[in-house]
Amino acid sequence: MISISHLRKAHGSKIAVDDVSFEVAEGEVLGVLGPNGAGKTTTVECVAGLRVPDAGTVRVAGLDPLVDRDALTRLLGVQLQESRLQPKITVGEALRLWSALYDDPVPWGGLLERLDLVDKADTTFRDLSGGQQQRLSIALALIGRPRAVILDELSTGLDPRARREVWQIVRDLRADGVTVLLVTHSMEEAQQLCDRIAIIDAGRVRALDTPDALIAGAAAATVTSFTADDAVDLEALRAMPSVSAVRADNGRIVVEGRDGAALAVLEGLRRQNVVPAALRVVDGTLDTAYLQLTGPSTPEESRA
């Protein structure tokens, strides 16, 4: 549905996007994750036809965003980061205006309800809270029944309840077969919503996989923690090939490692004749995978 190939874009002397390629399949929710300035927004702006790439190609349903602008705008809904409306436009007026721009708009009464803005229909944009402005912006992106949607910083500024609500909207979009390109800072959001995640750093795609696969591939796919009455030889644990980090944390010993590290740790403790108490083994999070892939210097060496 969306295909980006060797995209490159510089702002002056600063290279925002160096070499980005990925495909978003029809009906897929693809998350774009990365630190500030990684090139996420520039990438999606090229997809939306707002920027002219220096090199590479972008296609949305086979359309070139720069050439087929008219056709593109009819099938792609866009919610931009930090994009505001006329300060004195009311919610109702904005929705009515946007409805008039499309041939077959969604009846916006339902959108207001889903985005919990019904009692704000007569409120002007500047009097809305940040979260309400954000939800209105999402409503406008969906009003033209798009086949694909770009959501940039979807849940920034939303309280936890509103965040759950917009997440539900993304899930509904997915259920309706709408393709979603989701730019986010939030690991939790990416993990919750995305079929696949592209981690972008310094203008390049560092990893592109399902959330589970990214976590499993990380050096901290599992986190094993326990307490012990006897002294534990931490160096011996640290020396194990599947273990990436060992630390003592408030009386608990925490061991991070790849898949299967937990069994190796238990085996190691048995050899030391230590009986672990309050043993917990949990999945690692996307955070560790992310930090590993986007660190200042990719820390491949931390397994000393």
Interface residue list for other proteins (CB under 8 A): 48-50, 70, 73-74, 76, 78, 80, 82-89, 93, 96-102, 105, 107-109, 140, 144
Residue with tokens 């593109």: 72
In angstroms, what is the minimal distance from the CB of 121 to other proteins? 10
Q: Which is nearer to other proteins, 133 or 292 (CB)?
A: 133
How many angstroms separate the Cα of 265 from the Cα of each of 59, 172, 246?
49, 42, 11
- Beta strands 243-249 and 252-257 are antiparallel
Alpha-carbon distance 66 to 58, whole Å? 9
The SS3 of residue 161 is helix
Q: Which is nearer to other proteins, 107 or 295 (CB)?
A: 107
Q: Which is nearer to other proteins, 124 or 192 (CB)?
A: 124
Q: Which is nearer to other proteins, 88 or 164 (CB)?
A: 88
The SS3 of residue 21 is strand
In angstroms, what is the minimal distance from the CB of 78 to other proteins? 4
231 in the Ramachandran plot: left (φ > 0), alpha (ψ -120 to 50) or beta? Answer: beta
Question: How many other C-beta atoms can be found within 10 angstroms of the C-beta atom of residue 162?
Answer: 18
In angstroms, what is the minimal distance from the CB of 102 to other proteins? 7
Residue with tokens 């740790």: 265
In angstroms, what is the minimal distance from the CB of 139 to other proteins? 13
Nearest to 206 by CA among 46, 11, 91, 38: 38
Do the Cβ atoms of 190 and 31 come closer than 8 Å?
Answer: yes
Q: Which is nearer to other proteins, 40 or 74 (CB)?
A: 74
Q: Which is nearer to other proteins, 107 or 260 (CB)?
A: 107
In angstroms, what is the minimal distance from the CB of 274 to other proteins? 59
In angstroms, what is the minimal distance from the CB of 143 to other proteins? 9
Alpha-carbon distance 304 to 295, whole Å? 17
Alpha-carbon distance 287 to 134, whole Å? 25
Q: Which is nearer to other proteins, 173 or 262 (CB)?
A: 173
Q: Which is nearer to other proteins, 5 or 73 (CB)?
A: 73
Angle at CA of residue 61, ends 55 and 67, nearest 5° = 50
In 105-218, DSSP assigns E strands to: 148-152, 179-184, 196-201, 204-209
Alpha-carbon distance 49 to 133, whole Å? 23
How many angstroms separate the Cα of 208 from the Cα of each of 48, 186, 215, 290?
21, 16, 12, 11
In angstroms, what is the minimal distance from the CB of 50 to other proteins? 6
In angstroms, what is the minimal distance from the CB of 170 to other proteins? 18
